[in-house]
Amino acid sequence: MTAIKGSERTPMPGAADAGDADPRERLEVTVLLRHANPAAWAAQSAALQSKTPPASISREQYAASFGADPGDIAAVKTFAEGHGLVVVASDAARRTVMLSGTVAQFNDAFGVRLRRFEHPGGAYRGRTGAIQLPEALAPAVEAVLGLDNRPQAKPHFRKKRGRGGAQASTPGTFTPTQLAALYGFPAGDGAGECVGVIELGGGYKPADLKTYFAGLGVSPAPDVISVSVDHGKNSPTGSADGPDGEVMLDIEVVGSVAPGAKLAVYFAPNTDAGFVDAVSTAAHDAVNNPSIISISWGGPESSWTGQAMQAFDQALQAAALMGVTVCIASGDDGSSDGVATGDHVNFPASSPHALACGGTTLQASGGTITSEAVWNDGAGGGASGGGVSTVFALPAWQEGLEATTTGGGASALAMRGVPDVSGDADPETGYVIRVDGADMVIGGTSAVAPLWAGLFARLNAIAGKPAGYVNAALYAQPGAFRDITSGDNGDFAATAGWDACTGLGSPDGTKLTLT
């Protein structure tokens, strides 16, 4: 047997081993296979990170060039059948084989011992150590996801302080349409586009959406559909403090800014397998055909296994190659990303194949922005996530940039810097939103990702084609941003040009071009 590289797991911090998992418990596992043509994939990977990335290709072209080898799929099926596992589905373009079976069968097949762990937030099925495969099969498999079902990510939204999150009449807060106007978004409604929204829990109530959009004068209301991934579904919890707040924030921001675009909301379990499968499903969805994906969930790079992070990054890379723009919140815990010691960045925002969206605090008067600084509510509050990755190499479009610390020092970026762009995220200057029958104000970088997604929907509709992988193009036009030069997110300070708090800055839609 051979260990899968990067599959090692340790218990969650504070989790206690509660004994063996029920051997009769049934679960589903995603097996990710290698590319049929690894040399071509490596060449495209390098080209994509250049200052002049290649033109996007169709989903059909991607499947033909970068899918899985049919022989590898057949080998996994034979292996599964030999251990009594059921092949639920396989997808050559996504390079996945979905397997179903019991805990006992998966323990035997993958050389693990699944256990039950209890922690202050609940319980999960997990494992320690690495996943094992027969030596003959191991070279074909890049990841096995789903054996462990611990929560992988958290939503990046923050409610305005005060009872009930404050009401819509609170001075200094904004509707998404007001922010679009302040940032100079071009006229249009995103007609003909589809925005994919990734959610790992919670849900939306159509009646709330109808009331919200009617109150903004958005008519007709956006077309919103839910897509189930790994048995996830639209399931409102009735609590704005839970994932419902994230789901409604995402939909209402995108839907207000680009009401002519269809919104496909991909619901998946909050596990590494569910998260990866949701993004992969959206990127390859030829039915809804999203040209933009918005993601407001994530976790510190240190909380991911190497295999899961690689699988996720490859899903984002596939999206980039197929001309899908992916906007991801950079996190709400400043330079620490909520980790007790050191500086950390949030993944998947730290992937170079994503547009990482940081946060500002914004003041306006008479339809004009009067001031904008790094969002940082201080001790116990939220702050724009940002810093330097410890995993991903420096992309060509960030060469020559520096990260400035609050101590005044500056060092050249040696690895991927986060974020790329920013927008209003301070809940005190946040977004008027409706969740579970109540109007409230919500902020966080969770609001910035869908705001940028709505901007790209408008730009795509105007251009008549998708902007696709936009990072290099954005870094080539720093003058199209409102440069944020004041404030900090903990250990990093804002400065002229790119910084590890707000990236290039917030958008100036009157200057931004992607042609």
Cβ distance 442 to 255 under 8 Å? no
As a whole number of angstroms, the distance between CA 481 and CA 203 comes to 34
Dihedrals φ, ψ of 107, to 5°? -55, -45
Non-local CB neighbours of 378 within 8 Å, separated by 6+ positions? none
- Please choose, from the candidates 338, 232, 330, the residue with its C-alpha nearest in 3D space to the C-alpha of residue 279: 232
Tokens 């993004």, residue? 279
Q: Based on the number of CB atoms within 10 Å of its own CB, is 505 exposed (0-12), middle (13-18) or buried (19 or more)?
A: buried
Tokens of 444: 């966080």
Under 8 Å between Cβ of 490 and 334: yes
Counting Cβ atoms within 10 Å, is residue 286 exposed (0-12), middle (13-18) or buried (19+)? Answer: exposed
Structure tokens at 310: 């690689």
- 293's CB contacts (< 8 A; 6+ apart) are 195, 196, 197, 198, 279, 282, 283, 319, 324, 325, 326, 327, 453
* Cα–Cα distance, 208 to 175 (Å, whole number): 16
User: Is 28 noted as a catalytic residue in this protein?
Assistant: no
CA proximity to 433, closest of 204, 219, 184, 226: 204
Strand 431-435 relative to strand 402-404: parallel, antiparallel, unpaired? unpaired
Tell me, yes or no, if 17 is annotated catalytic.
no
Distances (CA, A) of 415 to 4, 310, 397, 411: 25, 16, 12, 11
3-class SS of residue 459 = helix
Q: Which residues pair with 177 in a beta bridge?
A: none
Task: For residues 366 and 106, give the distance between their C-alpha atoms in angstroms, rounded to a whole number.
Answer: 62
Q: Which of 28, 193, 208, 246 is catalytic?
A: 246
What is the spatial distance between Cα 157 and Cα 443, in angstroms, rounded to a whole number?
6
Is 90 an active-site residue? no
d(CA 269, CA 283): 17
Catalytic residue among 446, 483, 488, 491: 446
Catalytic entry in 28, 208, 250, 285: 250
Instruction: Give catalytic residue positions.
Output: 246, 250, 446
